[in-house]
Amino acid sequence: MTNKMDISVNVNGQAQKGQVEPRLLLVHFLRETLNLTGTHIGCDTSNCGACAVLLDGKAVKSCTVFAVQANGSSVTTVEGLAQGAKLHPIQEGFWEKHGLQCGYCTPGMMIASVELLGKNPNPTEEEIRKGISGNLCRCTGYVKIVEAVQYAAEKMRQQQKVEVPAR
Amino acid sequence: MGHSIKRKEDPLLIRGRGHFVDDIKLNGMLFLDFVRSPYAHAKIKSINTDRAKALPGVVAVITGNDLKGLGLDWIPTLAYDNMMVLPTEKVVFQQQEVVGIVATDRYAAADAVTLVDIEYEPLPAVSDPFKALEKDSPIVRDDKGTNHIFHWEAGDRALTDKAIADSDIVVKQDMYYPRIHVSYMETCGCVADFDPVEGHLTLWMTTQAPHAVRTVAALVTKIPENKIRIISPDIGGGFGGKVYVYPGYIVATVGSILTGHPVKWINDRSDDQPSTAFGRDFHMSGEIAAKKDGTITALKIKTISDHGAFHGDANPTKFPVGLFSIVTGSYDLKNAFCEVDAAYTNKPQGGITYRCSFRVTEAVYVVERMVDVLAHKLGMDPAELRMKNFIPAEKFPYKSVLGWTYDSGNYSAALKKAMERIGYADLRKEQEEKRKKGELMGIGISSFTEIVGAGPSHDFDILGLKMFDSAEIRIHPTGKVISRFGTKSQGQGHQTTYAQIIAEELGIPTEDITVEEGDTDTAPYGLGTYASRSTPTAGAAASMASRKIRDKAKKIAAYLLEAREEDLEWERGRFYVKGSPSKGKTIQEIAFAAYTNHPPGVEAGLEAVDYYDPPNMTFPFGSYICVVDIDRGTGEAKVRRFIAVDDCGNIINPLIVDGQIQGALTMGFGTSFLEEIKYDEDGNVFGGNFMDYLIPTAVETPKWETDKTVTPCPHHPLGTKGVGESATVGSPAAFVNAVVDALAFSGITHVEMPLNPWKIRKALEEKGLALEN
């Protein structure tokens, strides 16, 4: 496995270049090459979603994507959610509503929620539960995760309202 | 106390800046992977590692024989048995670690795993504990010569048998509590870093009990205890599965010693699930006796317990079956007897994991099921039967017939509240009407009593280490606090809860209090976090240490105020002179004086440590009610409602307690409806990864309704009890009781967990109740 390939990926707004084995998983590229360890690995069968990141805006399980497949794309990881000191509404929601306990599934859970809220700014509880069903949590029982997503949805809708007249 | 403050641990975690073991990166770090056994039981005829060693990137290959040379091929378990680290002669379960490969990165290590040539001679395997205890069974452990590990019993057999014989009604029911896995989201792993110059080992590892691990490691490896530093970083869920010591930790350490490099080992999920500690696997036969009026007269439980290939339960020494003798539950019973025979089988070790409170889960399940079986036999409402037999509130402290002294309780109040919340009487009417229309609906109750907070030193130790726990509190000159504990959070929120305890006791704001755990170089000694013990032990230690500080602060305040100590009054965060409330000193002013102007004859500084030895266990309890609707076509049981009324005494942070209960309910739901690790006759594992082992997602998980009663613990300094496991312990009986309640009219007395559609459909078919399409 010596034939390395050059890739360039925009990660959290920064251009990143790498020389990688074609078999290198995106999650390992993020965690081990770029030291972005917020994205976690929970299984090896694409079931748990701890490794979810946004690939060109779409939530993917980065253990099921090769780094070379992300060539030319942009990736958002949990480290890219906050803007400086200002938390993303989904991060605020998870903190406010006790949406995390051990915190291991949390980055993937927040990424899946961000994707959901992008498509559906006002989801019902059922839609939220379905939207995060590709992500497993063993600590919370999901009740407070649902509340966290609802909090974020409300907050993002408020922000939208403020932004509209400014345009 | 009593406030739902936001957690102190969250700001890092929500930014992806936690410190989990796989996040650690050290210079020159190598990676360890394992060749695993395809057989459950087989002789190893030869191991050839030449091809693996020749692969670029491979630095070391470690076999059982290499460990044997170091005296590390077998190590002691936490239960006075031994376990293989790597095998030298035979493998004893499928997926057992056989050869360790240390390479420059995880890809190279995984490549080399496929290049080790091992010749096996398969042996007959035994995966059924009943068969394992038969005379002609294959022997799992050649060093033992028998598959029978121990016999244990509690209670008076003769008196119980007599009470059963004298009773009006006796019912029997067999039930199996399946083998399950905790499936923490973060698999087990470590980074071992041995410094050959200093002879010093640093081991970052996923352990719930770092101090005990260090002591055992020192005794086994002969590395002096002061030269072993165990660090539990952030842990992605433990649930008991991270109390055990696994071969990966040992082989990574040996790998670091041999190569002179740090070595990381991280289990893949498909390696972790079938090789690390399972939970339960208990075959129980219950017998319950009563008078015609429903007064329960006796309970008798016989159990065969499957321990896998090694007896490795992290149990208190005196209690090889954990606290199973809490099996009389919430009931005022005069006669009870239970016995357990434990067997070796060709499966991985385990038993005590998955939020079980040391086998309380199995005990609560069997007694709560037996009460329902009896209720159906008597034709009595299960709620009424419970109310009739509860230990009355005025009988606390209550001495149970099997020897426990329950601290406090009010069982009928909790059940009454649950019944009111869910509208029990109306549900029974609805059930009756639905049944007439051919629709199946069931209502299940579980009124559990837990026993947690191990434990008092006269009864509780693990490998001789007494089960106290500790807190050390240092107040610095500016009034800011660093506190350290012998426990280790895996998501329970100790940083927040402990800070709230210290804030309550000393009146210092929680944001001024740092809480640290998990580093054996800095934290005071403690036995760790499992079995819902942290708040009952280390939480109490935080109170006691705070009170020692307050005693000293009073001396300093008296000196500063030129008053006598007995003339001072404490209010939150401040001493003042009786009768002159304006004349006082805050704890911050006192702290500053402790370093700048301490009284003559009093030591400088303001700090304290407490090793808390609890006088008794704590006994949380609650009543759960579950409503299910059963589809007669598909066999699916859908949980319509579930109300959980919990009582864990005084509550420190309601938000955290609620989160613990909701999470544990979901685990109980998984156990009851989805999860099971099964083995075929040859010991092949099913359910060894997340494709085959079903963990509840947000879609299946019911919407939990929670409520509480508050009956303070009389002996804990803050009146609190443990809570983390109440709902995994209490809920499965409610789910199963609900499903059986829906079917009981047809004569069905029991359906085994997990209650999947296939099993329920089969039960419906047997009674002619199944619908075609």
Cβ separation A1–B234 shorter than 8 A: no
Q: Estimate to the nearest angstrom the gap between the alpha carbon of B746 and the chain centroid.
A: 37
Q: What is the pLDDT of residues B172-225, one digit of tens each?
A: 999 999 999 999 999 999 999 999 999 999 999 999 999 999 999 999 999 999
- Structural domains of chain A, ranges and CATH numbers in brackets: 5-78 (3.10.20.30), 89-162 (1.10.150.120)
In chain B, which residues fall in CATH 3.90.1170.50? 10-123+188-266
Residues 6 or more apart in contact with residue B565 via CB below 8 angstroms: B554, B555, B558
CA dihedral B219, B221, B223, B225 (to 10 degrees): -30
Nearest chain A Cα distance for residue B686, angstroms: 15
Q: What is the pLDDT of residues B480-536, one digit of tens each?
A: 999 999 999 999 999 999 999 999 999 999 999 999 999 999 999 999 999 999 999
Span A2-6, mean pLDDT?
88
Nearest chain B Cα distance for residue A137, angstroms: 7
Residues 6 or more apart in contact with residue A163 via CB below 8 angstroms: none
Rg, chain A, Cα only: 16
Q: What is the pLDDT of residues B109-123, one digit of tens each?
A: 999 999 999 999 999
The model's confidence at residue B314, banded by pLDDT at 50, 70 and 90, is: confident
Span B680-701, mean pLDDT?
97
A61 to chain B, any CB pair closer than 8 A? The answer is: no
Q: Spell out the long-range contacts of B121-124 with Cβ–Cβ below 8 A and sequence spacing 24 or more.
A: B121/B42, B121/B43, B121/B45, B122/B39, B122/B41, B122/B42, B123/B39, B123/B41, B123/B42, B123/B43, B123/B90, B124/B41
Reply yes or no on whether B761 is catalytic: no
B149 pLDDT above the threshold of 60: yes
Q: What is the pLDDT of residues B259-305, one digit of tens each?
A: 999 999 999 999 999 999 999 999 999 999 999 999 999 999 999 99
A165 pLDDT above the threshold of 80: no
Nearest chain B Cα distance for residue A51, angstroms: 11
Q: What is the pLDDT of residues A110-148, one digit of tens each?
A: 999 999 999 999 999 999 999 999 999 999 999 999 999
Residue A2: the pLDDT is 63
The model's confidence at residue B139, banded by pLDDT at 50, 70 and 90, is: very high
In chain B, which residues fall in CATH 3.30.365.10? 278-454+616-766, 469-612
Residue A167: the pLDDT is 47
Topology of domain B278-454+616-766, CATH: Aldehyde Oxidoreductase; domain 4 (3.30.365)
CATH H superfamily, domain B10-123+188-266? Aldehyde oxidase/xanthine dehydrogenase, a/b hammerhead (3.90.1170.50)
What share of chain B has pLDDT > 90, as a percent?
A: 98
A143 to chain B, any CB pair closer than 8 A? The answer is: yes
Pairing of strands B90-91, B228-231: unpaired
What share of chain B has pLDDT > 70, as a percent?
A: 100
Q: Which of B11, B16, B704 sits opposite A79 (nearest CB)?
A: B16
Q: Which of A44, A78, A137 sits opposite B16 (nearest CB)?
A: A78
> Domain B469-612 belongs to what architecture?
2-Layer Sandwich (3.30)
Reply yes or no on whether B338 is catalytic: no
A139 to chain B, any CB pair closer than 8 A? The answer is: yes
Cβ separation B655–A98 shorter than 8 A: yes
ipTM of predicted assembly, 2 dp = 0.97
- The burial of B717, by beta-carbon neighbours within 10 Å (0-12 exposed, 13-18 middle, 19 or more buried), is given as middle
What share of chain A has pLDDT > 70, as a percent?
A: 96
The model's confidence at residue A162, banded by pLDDT at 50, 70 and 90, is: confident
> Which one-letter amino acid corresponds to residue B212?
A
Cβ separation A142–B698 shorter than 8 A: yes
Nearest chain A Cα distance for residue B167, angstroms: 43
Residue A166: the pLDDT is 52
The partner residues of B518 in beta bridges, in order of sequence, read: none
Q: Estimate to the nearest angstrom the gap between the alpha carbon of B95 and the chain centroid.
A: 24
Helices B360-378 + B382-389 axis angle, to 10: 120
A152 to chain B, any CB pair closer than 8 A? The answer is: no
A4 to chain B, any CB pair closer than 8 A? The answer is: no
Among candidate residues B190, B338, B356, B648, the one labeled active-site is B356
Say how far apart CA B5 and CA A154 lie, in whole Å: 21
Is the pTM of the predicted complex or chain greater than 0.80? yes
The CA angle B357-B245-B342, to the nearest 5 degrees, is 55
Average pLDDT in chain B: 97
